[in-house]
Amino acid sequence: MTTATTGRTTPLGAVGTSHTRVEGREKVTGTARYAGEIPFADLAYGWLVLSTVARGRITSVETEPVLAMPGVRAVLHHGNAPRVETEYQGMIGPPDPTTTLFQTDRVAYLGWPVALVVAETSEQAREAAESLVVHYEQEPHDVDFSGDRPEARPVDGFAPGLIEKGDLEAELAASTHVVDTEYTTPEEHHSMMEPHAAAAHWDGGRLEIVDSNQSSTWVKNDLAKMFSLEPSAVRVRSEHVGGGFGSKGVRVHQVAAVMAATVLQRPVRVVLTRRQMFSLTGYRSPTAQRVRLGADADGRLRALEHRSVNQTSTVHTFVEPSAGVPRVMYDAAAHHTANLVVPLDVPTPTFMRAPGEAPGSFALESALDELAVRCGLDPIELRVRNEPDRAPLSGLPFGTRNLLGCFHEGARRFGWADRDPRPGVRRDGRWLLGTGVAGASFQAGAGPSTALATAEPDGTFTVRISAADIGTGARTALTLVAADALQVPVDRVRVHIGDSDFGPAMFAGGSMGTRSWAWAVNAAAEELRERLALGSGIPPEGITVRADTTEAISRLARTERHSYGAQFAEVAVDPATGEVRVRRMLGIFAAGRIVNPLTARNQLVGGMIWGISMALHEEAVRDRATGGLYAADLAGYHVASHADVPHVEADWIEDDDPDDPVGIKGVGEVGIVGAAAAIANAVWHATGVRHRDLPIRPDRVLGARAAGAPDA
Residue closer to ligand MOS by CB (options 184, 214) is 214
Q: Is 669 a catalytic residue?
A: yes
- Distance in Å, CB of 622 to ligand MOS, minimum: 22
Length of the chain: 712
- Distance in Å, CB of 352 to ligand MOS, minimum: 5
- Distance in Å, CB of 406 to ligand MOS, minimum: 22
Could you tell me which residues come within 8 angstroms of residue 366 by beta carbon, excluding any fewer than 6 positions away? 181, 183, 291, 438, 677, 680, 681, 690, 692
Helix ranges (DSSP H) in 190-332: 216-226, 252-264, 274-280, 325-329
Residue closer to ligand MOS by CB (options 351, 416) is 351
CA–CA gap between residue 521 and residue 481 (Å, rounded)? 7
Which residues are 17's β-sheet partners? none
Whether the CB-CB separation of 562 and 574 falls below 8 Å is answered with no
CA–CA gap between residue 244 and residue 508 (Å, rounded)? 9
Positions touching ligand MOS (CB under 6 A) are 214, 244-246, 351-353, 355, 509-510
Q: Of 323, 703, 355, 379, which Cα lies nearest the Cα of 566?
A: 379
User: Looking at 320, 357, 409, 669, which residue is catalytic?
Assistant: 669
Q: Of 467, 469, 473, which Cα lies nearest the Cα of 507?
A: 467
Q: How would you list the strands of the sheet with 562-573, edge to edge?
A: 427-428, 431-443, 562-573, 580-590, 647-652
Residue closer to ligand MOS by CB (options 63, 443) is 443
Residue closer to ligand MOS by CB (options 53, 444) is 444
- Distance in Å, CB of 311 to ligand MOS, minimum: 18
- Distance in Å, CB of 193 to ligand MOS, minimum: 15
Could you tell me which residues come within 8 angstroms of residue 91 by beta carbon, excluding any fewer than 6 positions away? 215, 217, 218, 221, 222, 249, 507
- Distance in Å, CB of 51 to ligand MOS, minimum: 27
Estimate the crossing angle of helix 357-375 against helix 597-616, to 10 degrees. 70
- Distance in Å, CB of 249 to ligand MOS, minimum: 8
Residue nearest to ligand MOS (CB): 246
Work out whether strand 450-455 and strand 580-590 pair parallel, antiparallel, or are unpaired: unpaired
Residue closer to ligand MOS by CB (options 350, 500) is 350
Whether the CB-CB separation of 96 and 280 falls below 8 Å is answered with no
Whether the CB-CB separation of 428 and 435 falls below 8 Å is answered with no
Residue closer to ligand MOS by CB (options 510, 671) is 510
Secondary structure in 3-state letters for 603-619? HHHHHHHHHHHHHHCCC
Residue closer to ligand MOS by CB (options 214, 276) is 214
- Distance in Å, CB of 538 to ligand MOS, minimum: 38
Q: Residue 589, SS3? A: strand
Residue closer to ligand MOS by CB (options 214, 441) is 214
Distances, alpha carbon 424 to alpha carbons 420, 493, 547, 652, 684, in Å: 10, 56, 59, 31, 8
Q: Peptide bond before 695: cis, by omega within 30 degrees of 0? A: yes
Could you tell me which residues come within 8 angstroms of residue 518 by beta carbon, excluding any fewer than 6 positions away? 477, 478, 481, 595, 661, 662, 664
**CA-based torsion, 299, 301, 303, 306: positive or negative:** positive
Ramachandran region, residue 436 (left: φ > 0; alpha: ψ -120 to 50; beta: rest): beta
- Nearest 5°: phi and psi at 550? -50, -50
- Distance in Å, CB of 158 to ligand MOS, minimum: 10
Q: Of 324, 554, 336, which Cα lies nearest the Cα of 443?
A: 324
- Distance in Å, CB of 188 to ligand MOS, minimum: 12
Helix ranges (DSSP H) in 174-251: 216-226
Residue closer to ligand MOS by CB (options 260, 664) is 664
Residue closer to ligand MOS by CB (options 352, 363) is 352
Q: Where in the sequence numbering do the catalytic residues fall?
A: 669
